[in-house]
Structure 1
């Protein structure tokens, strides 16, 4: 599966982060574009991510009930 890109919205767990992925969708009836956001739990082995970081996720085997993604790379660090 291709990687997805998102922004960290929570890093309060050990070795886990919550990532919000936003995509643009076109309404089939009216043709208007709007944003949809979905949240994914991801594994962060080094605890390197902070809130606001832009990251790339790759799919992996199920690590827990909700975790099926792995933080592959931090693309942009958040400004504190």
Structure 2
């Protein structure tokens, strides 16, 4: 499984926090609602805050890390 998200934190060594946004339809009210979730991902590509990245699921790397950054899709504009 893979997800695309935006790096929201890069303050850890070899780890980034990736925020993944998705839109779901509410089952009762039929309104589209934006859901967000944060994933801790192993990063050896040097992603920075604001970069759009692709992450894939992998074996557990630590207590909270189960994702790995595969590529940086788009660099953040400074």
**Common topology (TM > 0.5):** yes
- Superposed CA RMSD in Å reads 0.7
Aligned equivalent of 1:58: 56
- TM value normalised by structure 2: 0.97
Q: Which 5+ residue runs of structure 1 have no aligned equivalent?
A: none
Partner of 2:33: 34
1:28-62 Cα deviation digits (max 9, x unpaired): 0010001000000000024x100000000011000
Moved over 4 A (4+): none
For 1:67 and 1:30, the matched residues in 2 are separated by: 35
- Aligned residues between the structures: 78
The equivalent position to 2:69 in structure 1, one of 35, 47, 71, is: 71
2:7 alignment partner in structure 1: 8
TM-score (norm 1): 0.94
Residue of structure 2 in register with 1:19 after alignment: 18
